[in-house]
Amino acid sequence: MTSETPFREATPVSPSPGTSAGWVRILAQYREPKLGRSIFEVIVTLAPFIAIWAVAWLLIPVSYLASFALACLNGLFLVRLFCIQHDCGHGSFFAHRGLSDWLGRGLGVLTLTPYDVWRKSHSMHHSGAGNLERRGIGDVMTLTVDEYHARSVFGRLRYRAYRNPIVLFLLGPAYVFYVENRLPLGQMDGGWRVWVSSLGTTLLAVLLLAAIVWFGGLLPVLLIFVPTTMVAATLGVWLFYVQHQFEETHWDQHDDWDMYDSALHGSSHYVMPTWLQWFTANIGIHHVHHLYSRIPFYRLTEVLRDHRELAQAQRLSISESLASARLHLWDEKQRRLLSFAEAQRVYRAA
């Protein structure tokens, strides 16, 4: 949503929610997907993705640069395909759960993300977001100021390296999508389904790549496949980062943690230009998504249109999000994220 988005004047559909949990009852009315709209969203995303792949391939003999540029553009469509896969994982894209699951599994081959493995870890993320005792699965690891200073020198250096932007947004995405997703790491004991999902997705992706090499050699892989997937992976990780890593996010110890408060106050409303909001399938309206994950992405704008309070909550501009990349540690006393320098001053003053 842009700041100029008009609001529809309408009779409130329900009383003021009063609490974060109260919003759940209100948001339930937006949960039903529309079959025609869902099919349309798949077509207008998948068809251009395939077409751009084909044109980029045809341009290889003409211009490596043109082929590479188209591949980078296609990374945006791959991000949108991942967002559709994401909705399938929440069972929000089609009313029929089986249809959502099989579409999600198919898209997983293109996004290099084993659907059943990711769906399980992402569910754990939703059920524990903002809980300091449930970190480490499906999120960007964040230490508190005290935890950081309790580590050894080597431990602090490791954490600094992990939170370095080059690692988080370049090396990290490459590792996750090219290596980590090839095995159900963290879910090895999750049963046959996660193994079939992980190995099956990898096998199909390898077969697809083998066919590309068979017909076109290595150049389509190097000039199209790698740039497309890396652009998508980097943007995807960045989006996931800014959705929960901003100065006044929300973290609590387990006894003080509330899932709905954490969803509303610990998830951002990332305000982007309309074209970028389209490519990211409204995932920037993340506070609403975390409050009620069964809402299809194309109905999230309806929520903001009908509820000014949610439209104004947790707004994060692109410039503000760039500044958040320097915030790395959660201060439990000030209840905000700090930079390493700020955290050092806080620690010395304690």
pTM here is 0.91
User: Does the pLDDT value for residue 186 go beyond 80?
Assistant: no
What is the chain's mean pLDDT, rounded? 91
Task: Give CA–CA dist 132/154, Å, rounded.
Answer: 22
* More confident of the two residues 12 and 265: 265
Closest CA to 70 of 49, 42, 44: 49
Find how far residue 16's CA is from the centre of its chain. 29
> 264-316, pLDDT tens digit by residue?
899 999 999 999 999 999 999 999 999 999 999 999 999 999 999 999 988 99
pLDDT tens per residue, range 116-152: 999 988 998 998 999 999 887 778 899 999 999 999 9
CA diameter of the chain? 64
Alpha helices by DSSP H, 129-279: 145-150, 153-162, 165-166, 172-178, 192-216, 219-220, 226-244, 259-265, 274-279
For residue 75, the one-letter residue type is G
Tokens of 256: 């003080």
Residue 103 structure tokens: 């579409």
Nearest to 300 by CA among 278, 322, 321: 278
